[in-house]
Structure 1
């Protein structure tokens, strides 16, 4: 196969990282004959959160939130066309599933990634530079063999970049030394499936984190333990094991309308607003909450209570090893203003993910990047990093713009729309027309032009009145 670095002509678009978001971009770019694109990923093939593909778990978004449908329902890369290629359309039709299994979504994405000619795995992007003389980005990369070892060095020239580097598992500072020890019985939920058999042998298991991943791990563990001898603890910082906001109007926070509204807010307002919206994307879906309660209730039918402790509002202050098979967690309950210790034999950290830093990859471009008051890259409405005017190429980001675009940045339901925005901006055309309205909610006030003009004038002095 001819790889992009073997070509003499520069690319119009190079995507770095092949997760669902850049895979969406690759799928929508595929039918555009005037766009020369390629996508690199250092992995050998596509996989989507393999450590969290617990049997039976489903996506929290409908199957229509696939890679392309919400931008181009007629695309050959839809989930429905994937089912057709597998002779599974009728089984899916009768299953009446709106939310598909995660393993099925992973298989669908792998089908697309393997079929697209523009996806190149085993390509590790090392650094990005701007060449002002040629008006191009230079991307140095390493081609890796099947074992992940360096095989060859290369350089690719491109007019535009799209960074889809994804997120990395987040481990709170007090737990990092233990988590990094190879023999410690502590793992992030990202590795749960891989470590599951080892974890299940522990006498007592603690789950840390109240989001969907924590709930799914706790439920899976609970179902494997004997009645009355569960020996499970579930703790979280949040004030409750709360349901995800899944009302119809609540879901309109994951529309292009809300994304545009959020981007138009002042930086301090955005920073204050984001933490308050945790239930929009960090809660637990109702089905999982109900399943946990049902399982706990079933274990009371003979009159006892399950040996399972569920405590929200708790922070892990410090942690340490007790011998070779135990961990001591030092806990604090902020509302109660109390502290305690918990001895456990294994810990699963369902503590979420953080955006991968762009610093190392883009270090030669730091002088060109415009930043906000917190030192974060400024991102414009087209998901482009704001660069110095001397840089004529564009760098777009996928799922690295929560601070500018809000809670919808990591949501799969906005993948096809954002890919459309990026492709329209890069091509200067409209291969994917964007909807003018996507929500019943109007998120801000529309200021009439006349009112806006008057309010900008200096106010007249107020006449003094008696008795005021």
Structure 2
């Protein structure tokens, strides 16, 4: 019996590969997608009540390239009898919990998605096809699959600076674990949040809301210059467009590094709403010259943490004053972001993968990782191309566009239209 060869296998089922699977339903491509999680879950540790997406609902899995798709968010609302409530809701930014439920709704309709299945290894056969070894956790059985192409959609993973690794535990943890550890943390006498992004802001606000019922001291430190808002002007948002992505890709490598360093507030700041919510609550708590039990301080870097006798001892450094301080805190929450990584399952083809001089993946404009052979089969990447394609790489609003490029390449024809001019401004000569 001849082995069955898929047209494409997807590794990881986050929002981007989920969108790819949904868009592939309009093609004749044979595909399977695997994820080691038991079901679709999008940042479960940060699915807090009151938090929203930072992009409009149109940044769903399909709408930006196929607004007539049955997998659109509006059709999700229709199927769940929520169109009128959403109409009266009158907001573009939807609850984060609803976005997660929307994605679960899509996943439940696509039989080609297999959860509880961990891709352990990928190799390339003599014919140029990819051989994929998958551990099916429920059966504890390894199976082998073959595919012409691979799409890596594993995204990024929580980042903790290496010097803090040994301190991690119940009392010191990354923000991605916050919801699971929240009840335990609320019983502490003092809590410290480290970081300057949206996650840090949301966690601080959530803890601030609950502070009167628990009485803990609440601290927030960042090494950034301030608790600054994310750039959200309409012309600033045009950087998250296919036009800017094409412009950025055409820049020399060294220029790209400089540009990215100067664009952090396009994707690393705090929303205006979160900052306003925090300030307004602090203002109300200070009525009658009351002093809220909080400490906010920027320009202050966490140098080290020691966990000793159920207490955390933090060494902090204020950069402008060039002064150090010690702080005791029962709980430390590290909102230190997410970084891309090289997955273990690619070790079988690592020798074929092209890296740049910085050790990062060498990626073509249509999201293919360059391979050191003449095979017509390709390895695509989702949300691993910040260094080559710019700030839009992790943005949900560009996910459907990137998937349209990949689908058109896989199908060998234009299945989805993409447009050259999407912004009012021009980014180059």
* Match for residue 139 of structure 1 among 132, 136, 157: 132
Q: Cα offset for 1:42? A: 1.0
Maintained 8 Å contact 1:206/1:234: yes
Is 1:271 matched up with 2:271?
no
* Match for residue 87 of structure 1 among 81, 87, 109: 81
Match of 1:26 in 2: 21
Maintained 8 Å contact 1:24/1:68: yes
Q: Could you tell me how far apart the structure 2 residues matched to 1:300 and 1:144 are?
A: 53
Gapped regions of structure 1 (runs ≥ 5): 1-5, 446-468
* Match for residue 97 of structure 1 among 78, 81, 91: 91
Is 1:344 matched up with 2:329?
yes
Q: Could you tell me how far apart the structure 1 residues matched to 2:405 and 2:245 are?
A: 12
SS in 2 for 1:159: strand
Match of 2:366 in 1: 382
Deviations 1:171-207 (A, max 9, x none): 122321111x4xx411211111111100001101100
Maintained 8 Å contact 2:318/2:324: yes
Is 1:416 matched up with 2:409?
no
SS in 2 for 1:61: coil
Q: Cα offset for 1:337? A: 0.9
Q: Cα offset for 1:229? A: 5.0
Is 1:35 matched up with 2:23?
no
Q: Could you tell me how far apart the structure 2 residues matched to 1:309 and 1:222 are?
A: 11
Following superposition of structure 1 onto structure 2, how do residues 73-84 of structure 1 map, counting pairs within 5 Å?
73-84=67-78
SS in 2 for 1:357: coil
- Please identify runs of 4+ aligned residues in structure 1 that moved more than 4 A: 227-230
Q: CA RMSD in A?
A: 1.5
Q: Could you tell me how far apart the structure 1 residues matched to 2:375 and 2:309 are?
A: 57
Q: Could you tell me how far apart the structure 2 residues matched to 1:409 and 1:336 are?
A: 36
Match of 1:465 in 2: none
Q: Cα offset for 1:228? A: 12
Q: Could you tell me how far apart the structure 1 residues matched to 2:128 and 2:166 are?
A: 45
Pick the structure with greater CA Rg.
1
Is 1:441 matched up with 2:422?
no
Maintained 8 Å contact 2:133/2:142: yes
Q: Could you tell me how far apart the structure 2 residues matched to 1:193 and 1:7 are?
A: 48
Following superposition of structure 1 onto structure 2, how do residues 307-346 of structure 1 map, counting pairs within 5 Å?
307-324=293-310, 326-346=311-331
Is 1:355 matched up with 2:344?
no
* Match for residue 143 of structure 2 among 123, 131, 154: 154
Shift in alpha-carbon separation, 1:401–1:201, aligned structure 2, 3 A: same
Match of 2:379 in 1: 395
Q: Cα offset for 1:230? A: 5.1
Moved more, 208-217 or 368-377: 368-377
Q: Cα offset for 1:227? A: 9.0
Give TM-score, length-normalised by structure 1: 0.89
